Structure 1
Amino acid sequence: MNIEEIRKEFPILHQQVNGKPLVYFDNAATSQKPQSVIDALTHYYNTDNANIHRGIHTLAERSTTAFENTRKAVAKFLNSREVEEIIFTKGTTEGINLVAATFGRKFIKDGDEIIISALEHHSNIVPWQILCEENGCTLKVIPVNDKGELLMDEYDKLLSDKTKLVSVNYISNALGTINPVKEIIDKAHKVGAKVLIDAAQAAPHATLDVQALDCDFLAFSAHKVYGPTGVGALYGKRDLLEAMPPYQGGGEMIKDVSFSGTTYNDIPYKFEAGTPNIGEVIALKAALDFVNELGLENIAAYEHELLEYANELLADVDGFIPVGTADNKASVISFLIEGVHPFDLGQILDAKGIAVRTGHHCAQPLMERFQIEGTVRASFSVYNTKEEIKYFVEALKAAIKMFK
């Protein structure tokens, strides 16, 4: 891959921040957008803006076609059996909440158990806590070792005929740990449990094949995979989606409405009440086209090269403490510097034009497991370079000297 040519496709990268060239290492929070995605969004509002599905005029038909073409693209991206198994959402968070509010409320009862992991983002913790408070089910947690890897022997002990759902992330946003999701899914199915995969961090780094994984649900966000904010997709097996009640009421999710009763629409529309984020959904296809053109395997290989290079340079940094050293990791490095608060480091690096994330990364229980308040997190994408990493490490060393 020609990284310099790739970088040219991202207009935001070519600017100065605080008088320094921008070095964007906050990709785990959100990725930047190629010009093709920006163009797709502006093209919709410049030429096609109209509500979808219900209009017969030309703009409505063009908008509807483009919107549904994205659904087809997502189905192909995830290798779902049917395009109707793809539901558009606001993002991974809404996808998880949708499953909790529909599948959870209908099929998980008092005395049942839900299993999550210690690596989860708050969006894959709080919805299940709410469900447990409402219906009396119990939340169980797979612990992690000191490297930030799931203890699979402990997972085996948690599984039972009481387990109705297992919901885990594919890749940890806080540590970069890549979880053995296929093994997790297979073991859950043996006890009759369904499985939801939070693929927010996996979508830009790993091939997602829902048929090969045999997951029951999978959610991801467009903004993590070079697409717009406010859009995501939820995959669900047809039989489950058809058995689940609607998530919200309104237009589009109905066939017929009367004061005596309502008939709900077929999937996926049953779960897509109201006017969706049309332009952003359409632009998501451009993002997936960008990924497919580069190839996820090529992206992952290059990002792993960046990860190894960064680990090599950071090993020589005085007081460097890595947090999360799993053997199988995505391009995320969480760390501390002995005697320096992460927020202070983040501010000093920002002054040099370097964007990193500091704090608990919406994973407070995981931070408690490591007995820390938070970390500095540098996360790399396909448009980052070794030169940027070298500059980052030099800036980090200079910052540390200020506290000595």
Structure 2
Amino acid sequence: MPEITKENRQDEDERIRRDFPILDGSFTYLDNGATTQKPKCVLEAVDRYYRTMNANPMRGLYKLSLAATEAYEEARETVRSFINAASTEEIIFTRNATESLNLVAYTYGRAFIKEGDEVVITIMEHHSNMIPWQQLCMEKGAKLTYIMPEPDGSITEEMFRSYMNPNVKLVSMTHISNVLGVKNDVKTFARIAHENGAVFSLDGAQSIPHTKVDVQDLDVDFLSFSGHKIYAPMGIGVLYGKKALLEKMPPFLFGGEMIEYVTTEGATWNELPHKFEAGTVNDGGAVGLSAALKYVSSIGFERIEERELHLTRLMMDEMKKLPYIHILGKKDPEDHHGIVTFTIDGVHPHDIAAIFDEHNVDIRAGHHCAQPLMKFCHTPSTVRASIGLYNTEEDVYKFLDALKKIRTEMGYND
């Protein structure tokens, strides 16, 4: 990789920005933790699919349907390669990470969690990796335990071990917190969970766009993520599961394609991965996801991590100079992975977001689908700026310029 200079950084910024038609300079987009914009290659791939090969895949023997089937299965192979799964049988297409996490809770959980068992999650979880386990444990008479991290979100190996006991049957954890930006030591935690006989489920929604995720290296049993957070269309997501576990799990939904044989008395189930993909699939979304993953791979995570860290450091270093701003999480920008969540003394987060919008800067305000974490952090809501691979220094300076005007516009004399 060539040395990064101011000149070639600007050249790369311009090249990448040209790939995203929506980024026309009329606004600054810093809500990538919620959803990302789509490059031309993704838009063109989806358009090409619907223009040239739209048919119900896996159900027709005519050329158009066969082309649709081939495109769908090629997308599955792209996902397999991207996360280094052992087989395409381990790649289940869903609507999003929420559906993937629910699939694990409803199928694996209902089949293997019983009364008296324990499920361990963290207080940092997005609601989609919390509520399914709450509901499962209430239904089964199991115990749901929350790991309470250090105030900055840190979970040490010793802390994690203290939550393990013979009753723990499953651990489900975020890879990167959507509020604090902290990255959990998943490889270590999965190993400890396995040593104690527990299954490990990983919510990768916030990590998959920012860092390389290798499921075999991490040795997680399940991984969930959404396409729309990694520059792909909305409505397509992925559940990775180890084949041995998926084979033991009952289907999530029932209907067409997930069956092998049906009689008036019952049915038998299709082979993996189709057992978990009932009904007509989102073939266009899968094609778009494949294009997005190839696009990300063409840039490379080494360069993506460098770009995002540079911008995060620039943003946080300037924010720390303002005494009325309080950044949640760790002090080092390297521990934020493009997520900067903060409060401003005397100004409600919704007012902050509204003022940013007046300056054409898009950020997010609220509890970020993490209300228990907000309570843990002693604040009902916060503001979050989140960086993507197409953001630039100019974006950060526009953010900072608007940020420095907020207290004045709210009547404070700073």
Deviations 1:152-175 (A, max 9, x none): 433222111111000001000111
> Is 1:301 the equivalent of 2:310?
no
Determine the C-alpha separation between the residues in 2 that align with 1:208 and 1:270. Answer: 25
TM-score, normalised on structure 2? 0.95
Pairing 1:166-315 to 2, within 5 Å after superposition = 166-315=171-320
- Kindly indicate whether the alpha-carbon contact (under 8 Å) linking 1:45 and 1:279 is maintained by their aligned counterparts in 2: yes
Aligned to 1:348: 355
Deviations 1:204-224 (A, max 9, x none): 011111111111000111000
Residue number among 367, 378, 382 corresponding to 1:375 in the alignment:
382
Structure 1, unpaired ranges of 5+: 17-21
Aligned to 1:8: 18
**Amino acid corresponding to residue 345 of structure 2 in structure 1:** E
Count of paired positions: 399
- Kindly indicate whether the alpha-carbon contact (under 8 Å) linking 2:361 and 2:398 is maintained by their aligned counterparts in 1: no
Residue 375 of structure 1: CA displacement? 0.7
Determine the C-alpha separation between the residues in 1 that align with 2:261 and 2:161. Answer: 46
- Kindly indicate whether the alpha-carbon contact (under 8 Å) linking 2:117 and 2:142 is maintained by their aligned counterparts in 1: yes
Structure 2, unpaired ranges of 5+: 1-8
Residue 326 of structure 1: CA displacement? 5.8
- Kindly indicate whether the alpha-carbon contact (under 8 Å) linking 1:117 and 1:150 is maintained by their aligned counterparts in 2: no
Determine the C-alpha separation between the residues in 2 that align with 1:152 and 1:329. Answer: 20
Determine the C-alpha separation between the residues in 2 that align with 1:390 and 1:303. Answer: 14
Determine the C-alpha separation between the residues in 2 that align with 1:75 and 1:371. Answer: 40
Determine the C-alpha separation between the residues in 2 that align with 1:93 and 1:273. Answer: 17
- Kindly indicate whether the alpha-carbon contact (under 8 Å) linking 2:107 and 2:249 is maintained by their aligned counterparts in 1: yes
Residue 150 of structure 1: CA displacement? 2.3
**Amino acid corresponding to residue 331 of structure 1 in structure 2:** G
Aligned to 1:316: 321
Aligned to 2:170: 165
Determine the C-alpha separation between the residues in 2 that align with 1:392 and 1:217. Answer: 37
Residue 344 of structure 1: CA displacement? 0.3
Determine the C-alpha separation between the residues in 2 that align with 1:121 and 1:154. Answer: 21
**Amino acid corresponding to residue 295 of structure 1 in structure 2:** G
Identity among equivalent positions (%) equals 45
**Amino acid corresponding to residue 19 of structure 2 in structure 1:** E
Residue 151 of structure 1: CA displacement? 4.9
Pairing 1:15-30 to 2, within 5 Å after superposition = 15-16=25-26, 22-30=27-35
Determine the C-alpha separation between the residues in 2 that align with 1:254 and 1:74. Answer: 24
Determine the C-alpha separation between the residues in 2 that align with 1:41 and 1:131. Answer: 37
- Kindly indicate whether the alpha-carbon contact (under 8 Å) linking 1:143 and 1:151 is maintained by their aligned counterparts in 2: no
> Is 1:77 the equivalent of 2:82?
yes
TM-score, normalised on structure 1? 0.97
- Kindly indicate whether the alpha-carbon contact (under 8 Å) linking 1:331 and 1:379 is maintained by their aligned counterparts in 2: yes
- Kindly indicate whether the alpha-carbon contact (under 8 Å) linking 2:152 and 2:180 is maintained by their aligned counterparts in 1: no
SS in structure 2 of the partner of residue 4 of structure 1: helix
**Amino acid corresponding to residue 360 of structure 2 in structure 1:** G
Determine the C-alpha separation between the residues in 2 that align with 1:342 and 1:150. Answer: 27
Determine the C-alpha separation between the residues in 2 that align with 1:152 and 1:375. Answer: 29
**Amino acid corresponding to residue 11 of structure 1 in structure 2:** P
SS in structure 2 of the partner of residue 11 of structure 1: coil
Residue 279 of structure 1: CA displacement? 0.6
Determine the C-alpha separation between the residues in 2 that align with 1:151 and 1:302. Answer: 28
SS in structure 2 of the partner of residue 13 of structure 1: coil
Determine the C-alpha separation between the residues in 1 that align with 2:46 and 2:322. Answer: 43
Determine the C-alpha separation between the residues in 2 that align with 1:315 and 1:140. Answer: 35
Aligned to 1:19: none
Determine the C-alpha separation between the residues in 2 that align with 1:326 and 1:318. Answer: 14
**Bigger shift: residues 201-210 or 146-155:** 146-155
**Amino acid corresponding to residue 396 of structure 2 in structure 1:** I
SS in structure 2 of the partner of residue 165 of structure 1: strand
Residue 300 of structure 1: CA displacement? 1.1
Residue 318 of structure 1: CA displacement? 4.2
**Amino acid corresponding to residue 10 of structure 1 in structure 2:** F
**Bigger shift: residues 148-157 or 215-224:** 148-157
SS in structure 2 of the partner of residue 132 of structure 1: helix
Residue number among 103, 109, 114 corresponding to 1:109 in the alignment:
114
Determine the C-alpha separation between the residues in 2 that align with 1:94 and 1:188. Answer: 24
**Amino acid corresponding to residue 127 of structure 2 in structure 1:** H
Deviations 1:82-132 (A, max 9, x none): 111000001110011001011000101000000001110000000001101
